[in-house]
């Protein structure tokens, strides 16, 4: 009888404690789900008194992204390391003043045309267009006042898969020299599966060119040191070779036996000081890799930081990806939390059509015609290893 009572008591305690554990787990999930949110607040003002808003998005796993209406800039992105400790993995400023004073496109939407167009000139349907030149004699990242410096109209998205923002901007005919009124929309979506997607669409009322991208600078150490020990893999057998002005020569250069071979993951720093001529032109890595494979939405690159365990994969519909190793960062910028951004403290992986495509008929076309919709999608997948 006593034995039965003892057994009964043990069973009761076990059941109760299991129930309790289950309740705690359920409560944690509920708490996390409760945290899924979009919060809007003021980030500062432009010189003309326009207020800039900042949106904080949090997904079910606690990943938090902040973005502002100015340039659609991602000002902060906090992801966990392998122990669950969150750090900000993108470079940027704490306030509006920083972005207004000097920014190498930190975290911004780039448009209408990402990267360079030789002499800022191109021909379309027999007409020559002269764009603003802002990189020596060339056009870079949309010109003097590109999409990184305009105010986007932002609305929130929230559904069972995550949270996001819809950013809208209408670029008037002739802006920075581009033909056509362009209605551009960029969607940032932070999924509960720890993906961050960039969905771009655009429409025009005159034939034009479009090449939109996102210019976040990543550092998976939380900007504690340079990015040279991050392991990078790029799914590409060729790059578009450049001249000393970083304009494609038109040649597709095989990566085999060159510092550009990232088909197997290697440290960013491994060959960065190579005296390869292409590397000298770029002052390091600043080239367009031609992504292998003909799948519409394909694996482009991955980055792994061994100390923190942070791992990111990039998938895209774009044919190319610009890997820029932060060569122009030189310690003259003091970023968030008073961190000095020294040489190569951040890297960019910008999915794109190839630089100078409007002047290279054998490159995939970046022309957008009336009645067509420009579509581009890139997804970043965050995890740890």
**Beta carbon nearer to ligand BGC, 200 or 324:** 324
**Beta carbon nearer to ligand BGC, 180 or 346:** 346
Which of 139, 141, 215, 353 is flagged as catalytic?
215
Supply the minimum distance, in Å, between the C-beta of residue 359 and ligand BGC: 17
202 sits near ligand BGC (criterion: CB under 6 A)? no
Q: How far apart are the first and last CA of the chain?
A: 53
Supply the minimum distance, in Å, between the C-beta of residue 134 and ligand BGC: 11
Question: DSSP secondary structure string, 94-159?
Answer: SSHHHHHH--S-TTEEE-SB-SEEGGGEEEETTEEEE----BTTBEETTSTT-GGGSBPEEEEEEE
Supply the minimum distance, in Å, between the C-beta of residue 250 and ligand BGC: 18
d(CA 166, CA 51): 18
350 sits near ligand BGC (criterion: CB under 6 A)? yes
| Residues near 228 by beta carbon (within 8 Å), at least 6 away in sequence | 267, 268, 269, 272, 344
The answer to whether residues 65 and 57 touch, using CB atoms and an 8 Å cutoff, is yes
d(CA 189, CA 192): 10
d(CA 97, CA 66): 17
**Beta carbon nearer to ligand BGC, 146 or 177:** 146
The residue within the footprint of ligand BGC, chosen from 60, 176, 226, 286 (CB under 6 A), is 286
Supply the minimum distance, in Å, between the C-beta of residue 186 and ligand BGC: 17
76 sits near ligand BGC (criterion: CB under 6 A)? no
The answer to whether residues 210 and 368 touch, using CB atoms and an 8 Å cutoff, is yes
**Beta carbon nearer to ligand BGC, 188 or 324:** 324
- What x/- string results for residues 167 through 186 when contact with ligand BGC is judged by CB under 6 A? --------------------
The residue within the footprint of ligand BGC, chosen from 43, 93, 105, 152 (CB under 6 A), is 105
**Beta carbon nearer to ligand BGC, 290 or 348:** 348
Supply the minimum distance, in Å, between the C-beta of residue 316 and ligand BGC: 15
How would you write 278-335 as a 3-class SS string? HHHHHCCCEEEEEECCCCCCEEEEEEEECCCCEEEEEEECCCEEEEECCCCCCCCCEC
Sign of CA dihedral 228, 234, 237, 240: negative
The answer to whether residues 165 and 159 touch, using CB atoms and an 8 Å cutoff, is no
104 sits near ligand BGC (criterion: CB under 6 A)? yes
Sign of CA dihedral 122, 128, 133, 137: positive
**Beta carbon nearer to ligand BGC, 13 or 283:** 283
Whether 350 is catalytic: yes
Of 103, 182, 94, nearest in space to 148 by CA = 103
**Beta carbon nearer to ligand BGC, 36 or 91:** 91
Residues 234-263 that bind ligand BGC (CB under 6 A): 246
The residue within the footprint of ligand BGC, chosen from 91, 210, 247, 348 (CB under 6 A), is 348
Q: Determine the residue with CB nearest ligand BGC.
A: 104
Supply the minimum distance, in Å, between the C-beta of residue 332 and ligand BGC: 13
The answer to whether residues 129 and 119 touch, using CB atoms and an 8 Å cutoff, is no
Q: Is the peptide bond before 112 cis (omega within 30 degrees of 0)?
A: yes
**Residue in the structure block whose two tokens are 């939405």:** 297
208 sits near ligand BGC (criterion: CB under 6 A)? no
Strand partners, 52: 44
Helical H segments across the chain, by residue range: 2-35, 96-101, 277-282
Residues 295-324 that bind ligand BGC (CB under 6 A): 322, 324
Whether 215 is catalytic: yes
* Number of chain residues interacting with ligand BGC (CB under 6 A): 10
Supply the minimum distance, in Å, between the C-beta of residue 282 and ligand BGC: 8
Active site members = 215, 350
Residues that bind ligand BGC (CB under 6 A): 104-105, 115, 246, 286, 322, 324, 328, 348, 350
């Amino acid at each position: 009888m006593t034995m039965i009572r003892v057994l009964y008591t043990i069973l009761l305690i076990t059941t109760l404690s299991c129930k309790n554990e289950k309740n705690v787990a359920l409560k944690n999930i509920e708490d996390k789900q409760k945290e899924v949110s979009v919060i809007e607040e003021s980030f500062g003002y432009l010189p003309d008194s326009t207020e800039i808003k900042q949106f904080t998005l949090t997904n079910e796993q606690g990943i938090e992204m902040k973005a502002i209406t100015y340039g659609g800039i991602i000002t902060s992105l906090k992801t966990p390391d392998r122990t669950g400790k969150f750090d900000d993995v993108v470079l940027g400023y704490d306030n509006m003043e920083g972005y207004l004073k000097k920014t190498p496109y930190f975290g911004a939407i780039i448009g209408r045309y990402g990267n360079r167009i030789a002499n800022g000139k191109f021909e379309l349907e027999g007409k020559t267009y002269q764009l603003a030149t802002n990189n020596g004699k060339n056009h870079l990242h949309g010109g003097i006042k590109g999409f990184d410096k305009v105010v986007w109209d932002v609305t929130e998205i929230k559904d069972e898969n995550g949270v996001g923002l819809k950013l809208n901007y209408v670029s008037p005919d002739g802006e920075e020299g581009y033909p056509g009124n362009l209605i551009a929309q960029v969607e940032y979506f932070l999924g509960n599966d720890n993906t961050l997607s960039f969905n771009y669409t655009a429409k025009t009322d005159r034939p034009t060119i479009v090449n939109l991208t996102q210019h976040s600078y990543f550092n998976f150490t939380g900007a504690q040191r340079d990015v040279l020990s991050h392991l990078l893999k790029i799914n590409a057998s060729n790059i578009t070779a450049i001249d000393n002005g970083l304009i494609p020569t038109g040649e597709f250069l095989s990566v085999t036996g060159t510092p550009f071979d990232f088909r197997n993951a290697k440290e960013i720093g491994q060959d960065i000081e190579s005296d390869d001529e292409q590397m000298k032109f770029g002052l390091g890595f600043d080239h367009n890799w031609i992504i292998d494979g003909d799948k519409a939405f394909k694996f482009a690159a991955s980055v792994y930081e061994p100390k923190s365990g942070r791992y990111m994969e990039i998938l895209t519909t774009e044919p190319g990806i610009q890997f820029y190793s932060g060569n122009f960062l030189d310690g003259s910028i003091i970023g968030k939390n008073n961190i000095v951004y020294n040489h190569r403290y951040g890297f960019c992986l910008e999915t794109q059509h190839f630089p100078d495509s409007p002047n290279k008929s054998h490159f995939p076309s970046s022309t957008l015609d009336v009645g067509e919709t420009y579509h581009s999608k890139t997804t970043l997948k965050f995890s740890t290893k």
